[in-house]
Amino acid sequence: MKSLSDTLLKRKTIRKYSAKKVDDDLLNDLLARGCRASTTGNMQVYSIIITRDDAKKRELAPFHFNQKMITEAPVVLTFCADFNRFSKWCLENKAEPGYDNFLSFFTAAIDALLVAQTVCIAAESEGLGICYLGTTTYTADKITESLKLPKGVVPVTTVTLGWPAEDPEQPDRLPLEAIIHKEVYHDYSEQDLKKYYSQKEEREDSRNFIKENNKETLAQVFTDVRYRKSDNVHFSGVLIKVLTDQGFMNQ
């Protein structure tokens, strides 16, 4: 097992996995460690769906835009915001649940993300590789149907997990000073932005990215190709409908 510091500082996303099985006992152990994460009021308003079955992975693949990790990883975990279980327990115990609102969704989503990230750290500390799939929030309607999620449950993120079959270069990060604000927020001047983003912009992979996409700047690769407004608006609509259908938008 790696030291915690190495686990955190040397980690990188892994998108290629070997055929080696992830043992059930190990997976359960990782999930148990993940579930020690902080959770709002100790309510544990999340659920984790484990997908190991190849047919189910193939069914999920298009909802993740056919990213190959879904079918190639031995384990796929879908982390869900879940007020279903807790609300049912309230009703069984003469208590009236008041969780059919957006705040409660957000609370449960925070819980789900905290448990997801803790499972990821536990997995990475054992030498496993992980990849988050943000596609879960884009196609939450399809994933909700496929995983038979009842009212009160919304998929928040997906993680693919397996033994690494690649050793990619570690991606860059912004310098810490770009992220940290002392006491109050200090807004960014043009000069600050130049300073903080120049390292990223000058990387060879960034330059290639700009060229491949026929763009002038790295920022344009994000705004015009990877995370476009039209997609964001469309998928926001899908997500708001899921939240409505799953009973989180009553107030």
Ligand X SMILES: Cc1cc2nc3c(=O)[nH]c(=O)nc-3n(C[C@H](O)[C@H](O)[C@H](O)COP(=O)(O)O)c2cc1C
What residue ranges bind ligand X (CB under 6 A)? 12-13, 15, 67, 131-135, 157, 171
Contact, 115 vs 79, CB < 8 A? Answer: yes
Strand partners, 160: 76, 131
Smaller CB separation from ligand X, 131 or 153: 131
Smaller CB separation from ligand X, 119 or 131: 131
User: C-beta of 214: minimal distance to ligand X in Å?
Assistant: 22
How is the chain split among helix, strand and coil, in percent rounded to 5? 50, 10, 35
Strand partners, 82: 153
User: C-beta of 2: minimal distance to ligand X in Å?
Assistant: 16
Angle between helices 24-34 and 102-125 (to 10 degrees): 130
Q: How far apart are the first and last CA of the chain?
A: 46
Distance CA 81, CA 40 (A): 12
Smaller CB separation from ligand X, 61 or 90: 61
Reference 61, options 163, 18, 53, 128; nearest CA is 53
User: C-beta of 64: minimal distance to ligand X in Å?
Assistant: 7
Distance CA 123, CA 163 (A): 10
User: C-beta of 85: minimal distance to ligand X in Å?
Assistant: 24
Smaller CB separation from ligand X, 47 or 135: 135
DSSP 171: P
User: C-beta of 103: minimal distance to ligand X in Å?
Assistant: 21
Helix (H) or strand (E) holding 241: helix 229-245
Distance CA 249, CA 251 (A): 6
Smaller CB separation from ligand X, 5 or 189: 5
Smaller CB separation from ligand X, 23 or 201: 201
Smaller CB separation from ligand X, 51 or 135: 135
User: C-beta of 196: minimal distance to ligand X in Å?
Assistant: 17
Residue whose CB is nearest to ligand X in the complex, by number? 134
User: C-beta of 109: minimal distance to ligand X in Å?
Assistant: 11
Reference 51, options 37, 36, 63; nearest CA is 63
